[in-house]
Every structure is written in structure tokens, then in C-alpha cells.
Structure 1
């Protein structure tokens, strides 16, 4: 049985969803409408639909006509890929109008918005799913399988280091994410993936969070301290940006040009802001210590200016140790090579039994982003879903648990004190 889908927010992440429906799920899913604050951007999304995917153009609605769109087009499910601080608005309105929701991570950005979403789900009985595609990556699923199989026994502690490189990591400081009011900072916007992975791997939830963080590399003050004086606020038609390795040239990329540069006159959004400009309120250097209800301890770090992209995670258990390293080639959101999206370049998974011989675990990669994980997620969302022994599909509770970890981290950074997650929200 085919379901109808409307999508709100036609920016860089939207095509991942509407492109998949148009290309791979014509029998089970139907696009019925786009919604955005920006008409130019919606027109470009329709252009991609017709020219790239050979799909008929669909109606488009401005954001203030969202309710009209729901009532007229009658979607079963609304896909929310708008700016993070607006997720709650579209999620709640969709639920109240009788729709289910698929939302990009993070589900929302602060405690109050999270409470509003949870209350609305409880009241309407409609469903919200959060798209944690990292769960579906084969190496992450293998980690879950190994831990669940008691290979290293009960996990007592985890060391988890995530590295964002100077292509992908820097991009958060060019875009709307640089304003913490929009994104919740990297502890919410980006680390929601990582905190969810730990919840998924260990089968537990966080109890207490203590965090430290600061803006150490990006931003004007840090650039000045390193002797950088070539300041500008945006790169477009700016001579100072010509030789800046951190600058992004919108006019040189047809996709970025059509989606952002040609749409600026409507909403004033500049996609190419300088990573060393003013107005950055998010951290680029973060450390978090978390105690879980299972009594496991997580030592987590995130740095957004590294020479490579990926993660190192180590699990210490009652029967041994599990060591994982994954190097990825990511891409500048809505502008880089799509063939490189989430592509795994190198990976190693090694089990070190307490009294046995260490051994490596092979993981087979499939076609598609994140080692074949993205197609699995998309099929779970839009196709004929299959029974999954790993339970990778993420609910609103999973979405709330992961963001509350990051929100608690932000609170701890501000106060210098540990934060109990259960004190924030009763799930």
C-alpha cells in the first residue's frame, strides 16, 4: 500500500529523502508536496525532481501555508528537514493535523521544545521517527552485534573520539549551525548521532552528564590570536576569500548556486559565511563525561578541525576489550561530491579477549552511503520494512534521549556542574 509524503525544508538534506522516494520507492511512497520559507529553493527542488529523477513536479507551499498544504494534499507522513530550531513547530503541527512524522536529527534543540513534542505524541497517538542512519552502517551494526553477543562481557567504560575534518567540520561554521540558537551547537546537532550510537550499542540510557567545551579554532578572536588578519563575513564576490582554503565558492558550484546563492534575495541567508568571521556561538572543541544507568562510563570528545574524518571508539568490558577505528570521507553538505557521502575509507574492528588471542573482525560494506547503511534506512522508512533483530529504527524516545544528552552537556558547560538527565524530562 502506497503512502503519501510531504516534505518541509528543501535545503541541503532534503534530497536524500525526496530523491530516494522518486528513484527507488515509487510503488510504496508518493511525494505530494514541498513546503519551505523560500520559493526559489522549492522551485529548484522541483527542477531536480523532474530533470534528475524523471518525476512529475509537485505542488509547493510557503511555510505560512503549512496547514493548508496538509489539509489539501492529505499526506500520511510529513518529512521534516527544516532548520533545527523549527523542527518542533512542524512536528507538532503535523501530529495535531493527523499525520505521522519522519524528522531529521536532532528531533529538536532544547528541553521545552522536546517536552512539547513528547506531550503532543502522547495526546495524538501519532508516530515520530528520527533518521539515525549511523545505526544502519555495517560497522556500527557489527559493534552492536559483538557487544550483544557478550564477546567482551559487560561494558564498563567507553572512550569515544569523533573527528570532523577541515572540510566537513568547517562547514558547520559557515552555515546557520554557527548560531547556537539555530542548532543547539555540535553537542545537539552532530553529537546526537554519537550519543544515540552509544545508547544503541550498550542498550542503556544516560544518567549524569558533565561537559566542557569552547570555541578554540574557528571565530575571529582565535584567528587573530594565530596572526590571521584576512577577515571577511562572506566569500561571494570577495577578493579576500580567493586564497582562503576555508572559503566556499557558491558561484562555482551549480548546485550551491541554485539552492542558495540565487535564493538569497528571498530570505537573506548566506551559505558562505567565513569560519573566521563574527557571530559564531557554537563550540568546536568538546569533551563529555557520562555515567549510564548500566553504570558504564563514557569519555567522549568532538573536535571540528582535524586532518581526517571519522572516529575511534574503545569498549572495556568484563571479558576483554573492543577497539574500533573508522575513517570516512564526508562532504560539504549540499555541495560536495555526492558519491563520497559518508563513504568509509578505512575501518578496523579488533577484539582483545582478556585471556585469549586478539583477532580482527571483518565487516562487509555494501553500495550506498555509510557503507550501505543509508539504503537500509531509506527502505525502512519508505519501502517494505523487514524484521530487524538489531532494532535499528529509531523512535521519538530514542530521539529525545540522544538530544537530552547534548542539551545536558550544554547546560553543564554553562554552569560547570554535572546534570542529571532524568531531571530534564520524564520519558
Structure 2
């Protein structure tokens, strides 16, 4: 391995281990490129961790292999990403033949642990899409595997990297509201985006671990980072009252449903060329239906969720996730001994916003095109003083500008110290999912769940 590639891998390892560690500089593009493989060629893998890397970083990295259980989706994914690398349906065969330095995991959530562990054991650094995994046993297996390996794991949390989220972190780091006391955080999924989870494998507990894990892991990681502590206990409520068996009617799938004229949730996948090419045209290989009925009987996850989380530093979090809101957005109130921070995104009543909800989601997920800069307010209200409105410049595409900043950090400047500590390693990934896993266990038992009882990780008062 060349010196520059050694520096690259060393930098990746230190990024994952701790942002407080010194990062050594390295030179890209002067010798051989970083050898990358991707396992899981679904929409996230082929776009964010596929095509975008080829389009933006081909001078410093190259795909040497793609892997998926569906050969049709695999071949389409190869064309969409824009690579000429070989394809595989056997992960271990791919790694042995291509000898990658970095494995990117974007498979179904319940299988993340398989490829993370195999990748580490086979001598590769691993970067996984969120969530880390779906239950405490798989989480412990990942923790054990990384400890035994001399390689490291990075979790792709992009929300931390948006300028808006970073401004909130900056205020908290500067002690703008004194000692943290409590946080109220509420996320609203609309009837376009929220419903989409129930069409897919995400609607089944064994595949995605419920939205407590698949979706809320994003939110819990953001909160852990803002609060700068780790969760110690969670108590939760949840139920399935809208989707699944609660629907007024159901069909085989949207394409063939006899209720398409009366169902407000009907989605015509045939009008989405990308979804047809990626999924529908290849469903005969593995039976995965992308436009499943969201009222099918086998949906067993929750569609309403509420939790109270106590942190090791005594901060209390009140959290909720709504899955069929008229609009998509979120709001947070962070209370301290000297004031309060209020922040929100995409609440239509707070400005004259008439954008279509489907279009809004498409913009957020977009990885190409010209960045659209917007200014969004953060409210800082100190005790005994008038509130201050801080306008934050941010992009609307790529998850508020977080996507490109995450990629740049990993692939362009891992040697540069980040004052906000935004890079996430295995412990961050674990602590975000353990809140969701604990919430599930709390609903099942009716009791509060100690985070320390789930794995051998003991919550820290301070993350750093």
C-alpha cells in the first residue's frame, strides 16, 4: 500500500474513533485511488453513496465492486452510479477478489450487522448507512467485532452536518442558555414521505426494527450530539392505529389495486421512471414490492410514538414522531438555566410556504443541481431579555446541505479537526439506536428501560 493510502486509512480510522484525536494530512489523487465497494444497491446506495461519490470524488476514489442479492437491480444500479466495476451477488467473494480498503453498507437495516462484521473481519474499514443495526444483540456483535479488529466503523449521520443544526450546536457549546435542563423535540412525517415507509420493508419489525430505529435514529443522534451526553433511561408509548390492519380497504399493490380511485394514498409507481427501473422491473428476482399496500395485514410497526428519555447529565428529553401529518417538518425547544433555544424546519405556518409536500421531499433528497440558499431562523431567548432571531444560511437540497459536508469531511478533509465534533463512530451509532430499541422494549413491557442493560456500553455524562 502506498504512503498516501496508508495516511487515508489512518485518517478514516481516527475519524471513526474520536474527533478529538489528531488527524494526519494526506494527499489525494497523487498515487492510487481509494478502493471502495458498495453492498446494497437500493435508492440510497445508488444515489448518495454511489452516483454522488462518482460524480464528486472520482479523482480520489474508485468503485471496485458492487454487491446486491437482486441481479437486475444490481446491473441497473451499476449504470445509474456510472461505474464500470464488476458486480457480485456474494459479498465475501467480492471482498476477496477486489481487496477494497473501504466497504460501504446500504442494505436492509436488519442485515447491516452481517456486512459490517464481515467487512471488519476481512480487513476493511466500514462505513454504514444509518441505522447501525436493529436490535441490542446485533449491536453488541458489532461492538465486539470492531474491538477485535484493527479497522474502524463510521456511521453516515448527515443531519449533524447541516448549517442549521450546526448553529444550534454552536449556541449550546457557547453556553448561550446555561446548563441544559430539558428538550422538547417533535418530528412530523407527512402523508407522502411518512406513508412511504409503510409501503416498504420498513413496515415490518423484523426488517427495520420499527421507525423508532430506522427513522428516529437520525433524531436521537442529533439530540445526543446537541445535548452532549448519552441516554441512560427511556420510557415510551406507541401503537399502530392508522396504517396496516386499520385501513378501510386493502389491495395487492398500488399498481393492481381495485381501490385506486378511492384511496387517497394511491401511488402510481409507473409514473416514476427511477423507481420502476430500480425496483418494479426487477421484483421477479427477489419478490420485493416497492408499491406495497400500506394497509396490508403484516405491517406490525408503530405509527404513533412518544418517549421520555433521561440523559446521564440529567437532561430530560420529550420526543414524539408523527407518521401521517399534513406537512413534513420538525421543531425543538431546548431549555436551560439561563434561557431557551427554539428551532424548526419546514413548518408551513411560520412562513408563506406553499411548496408541494412531494416536491419538498424531492428537494431534500436531491444530490444534484444548483444549491438553493435559504435563510432560516433560530430563536435565542435569554431570561429577562427580549428574544434574538438568528438567521442561518443553508441549502434546501441534500438534507439541508448536510450531505455534501459529510462527504467532504470523510473523503476530502478527514485530517482537518472539526470544532463541532460531527463525525460519528460506532459508539454514536449505538447510542442513537439504543434509545429506539429501549423505546420498543418499554412499549412491550410497560416499564422504563435502562440503556446500560441493553449492551455493555455504559452511558457517559459527557460524550467527549
Aligned to 1:6: 37
For the pair 1:105 / 2:130, whether they are aligned, the reply is yes
User: Is structure 2 residue 95 aligned with structure 1 residue 25?
Assistant: no
Residue aligned with 2:298, SS: coil
Counterpart for residue 60 of structure 1:
87
1:359 pairs with one of 388, 401, 413: 388
What is the aligned length?
Answer: 412
> TM (normalized to structure 1)?
0.92
Q: 1:215 aligns with which of 240, 246, 262?
A: 240
1:419 pairs with 413, 435, 449, which one? 449
Unaligned runs of 5+ in 1: 51-55
Instruction: Name whichever of 199-208 and 322-331 sits farther off.
Output: 322-331
Alpha-carbon distance change, 272 to 331 in structure 1, aligned in 2, over 3 angstroms:
farther
* 1:129 aligned partner: 154
Matched, 1:43 2:75: yes
TM-score between the two structures when normalised by the length of structure 2: 0.85
SS in 2 for 1:302: strand
Counterpart of 2:431 in structure 1 is 401
Q: Is the 8 A contact 1:29 1:383 kept in 2?
A: no
Q: Structure 2 matches for 1:138-287, cutoff 5 A?
A: 138-220=163-245, 222-223=246-247, 228=248, 230-287=249-306
Per-residue displacement from partner, 1:191-219 (whole Å, max 9, x unpaired)?
Answer: 00111111100110001100000011112
Distance 1:345 1:304 in 2: 26
Distance 1:107 1:270, change over 3 A: same
1:341 and 2:365 correspond: yes
Query: In structure 1, the residue corresponding to 2:393 is in which secondary structure?
Result: coil
Matched with 1:309 is 328
SS at match of 2:405: helix
Greater mean alpha carbon deviation, residues 346-355 or residues 392-401: 346-355
Q: Quote the offset at 1:233 in angstroms.
A: 2.9
Task: Judge conservation of contact 2:113–2:133 (CA < 8 Å) in 1.
Answer: yes
Measured after TM superposition, the shift of residue 344 of structure 1 is 9.3
Deviation by residue 1:356-415 (Cα, 9 ceiling, x = unmatched): 121111111147412211100111222233321101010000000110111001000000
The answer to whether residue 97 in structure 2 is matched with residue 72 in structure 1 is: yes
What is the distance in 2 between the residues matched to 1:404 and 1:10?
Answer: 27
Q: 2-side partners of 1:155 and 1:175: how far apart? A: 38
Q: Which runs of 5+ in 2 are unaligned?
A: 1-27, 348-354, 367-371, 458-464
Task: Quote the offset at 1:330 in angstroms.
Answer: 10
Task: Specify whether residues 337 and 253 from structure 1 end up closer, same or farther in structure 2 by C-alpha distance, changes over 3 A only.
Answer: farther
